[in-house]
Chains A and B, each alone.
Chain A
Amino acid sequence: MERLWDLFLASILSQNIALIFILGMCSLIAVSTSIKNALNMGVAVVLVVTLTAMINWPIYQLLILTNTTKLALLVFIITIAATVQLLEMFIEKFLPKVYNSFGIFLPLITVNCVVLAISLFFMNREYTFAETTVFAFGSGLGWLLAIVLLSGVRIKMKEISNIPKGLRGRAISFIILGILALAFFAFTGIGSA
């Protein structure tokens, strides 16, 4: 239990998937234009990451048994694409309200590298099923935290500061992210992966 708690804290703070491992940057920078969008995208990522990791883990065990782990990449990406597609159809049909708020972000998630990365990480680190689930959920939350922080700072900066022309828009996000990443280094030592 303690081990899982350690892993959970580490995946949110000291091993933050966005700011320490630098993954999922394309959508992080593209969607962080308003806090509402950022929050919706973040929730969608938490959902998809946790779900796909839980599906990919048993499939990976099957690949180990049949000695075809070389194909893991191909199998993972197909599972992810299929899961996202199913999830989108399911939400559209049964939860139209939720669909309207973050449905459009779902297809984007297929190419968000966080999702595939979580599957590759549990493979490389040989996690058990419980560890995989906790790690995936925590990493999703960590990503959510990062995108909300970034969009908050970006909006404030747009309102009150005079940014040089060439840095406006997406370029300034790099500088903000750099400072955020430095701040997250202060969490080093909390939990362990």
Chain B
Amino acid sequence: MKLLRMKYTKWFQTLKNGISSQNPILISVLGICSALAVTNQVENAIAMGLGVTFVVIASSSTVSLIRNFVPSKIRMVAYMVIISAYVILVQMFLEGFFPTIAKNLSAYVGLIITNCIVMGRAEAYAIKNPVKYTFIDGFANGMGYTLVLIVVASIREILGFGTWLGLPVMPGSWINWVVLSIAPGGFFIIGLLAWGLRSLTKTYEE
């Protein structure tokens, strides 16, 4: 009974929107540059996903906190400064603790700043809502993004390299699908996933 009631709370709706019915990558088609570029290995996808999740949560919450003090004319610049401060934090963290991942992701970590999801959530949600919902919204969108990244990366790594998180999973006679380990593979997999999720949730475009 309690679970049933949960379905109708704002918390649950916000969470569900971010992860499936308004999934940032597959439905809204936002933040796909990094989703395509870093997903040839699961390890990179996880790092990128968590990095973006952290930046979305932190920057949305900050924007929400100061939403009553920032004049609307300069809000864009304010977002930029807030977001880049957190991105620099993520970059320094990765360089300090996970130097190999930082090297693999190279410029793409810095490009979280221009990831439309981060800016989009600040403008579409955080500027109008109190901190507690903004936090959930940031978490849901970050997770929606991370999940898609991990799924895409798993498919690409298993078929393209025959491994998962670096462990061999395919039989020895497996011939790697090289096309999935290079850029076009990302396009095909995300296109097919978008087709699947859109058919399931019946969100069609003209």
Contact = CB atoms under 8 A, between A and B. Distances in A.
B188 A73 contact: no
A189 interface: no
Contacts of A71: 88
A96 interface: no
Given A22-B36, A23-B111, A170 B29 contact: yes
Interface residues of A, number: 45
Contacts of B184: 178-179, 181-182, 185
A29 interface: yes
Contacts of A181: 183-184, 187
Nearest to B31: A26
B168 interface: no
Interface in B56-112: 76-77, 80-81, 84-85, 87-88, 91-92, 106-107, 110-111
Interface in A11-66: 19-26, 29-30
Given A166-B198, A172-B191, A181-B184, A77 B111 contact: no
B88 A74 contact: yes
Given A166-B195, A166-B204, A185-B182, A124 B187 contact: no
Nearest to A23: B33
Interface residues of B, number: 44
A182 B205 contact: no
A74 B81 contact: yes
B88 A81 contact: no
Contacts of B76: 81, 110
Contacts, number: 124
A116 B191 contact: no
B175 interface: no
Nearest to A118: B107
B155 interface: no
A3 interface: no
A168 B187 contact: no
A130 interface: no
Interface stretch (B3-11, B113-121, B136-144): B113-121
A171 interface: yes
Nearest to B77: A81
B32 interface: yes
B111 to A, nearest CB: 5
A56 to B, nearest CB: 13
A112 B114 contact: yes
A70 interface: yes
16 contacts: A26-B31, A70-B92, A73-B87, A74-B85, A74-B88, A78-B80, A81-B80, A113-B111, A115-B114, A116-B110, A166-B198, A167-B191, A167-B194, A168-B204, A179-B184, A181-B184
Given A117-B107, A181-B183, 17 more contacts: A25-B33, A73-B84, A74-B85, A77-B84, A77-B113, A78-B77, A81-B77, A120-B110, A124-B107, A165-B199, A167-B198, A169-B204, A169-B205, A178-B187, A179-B184, A182-B184, A185-B182
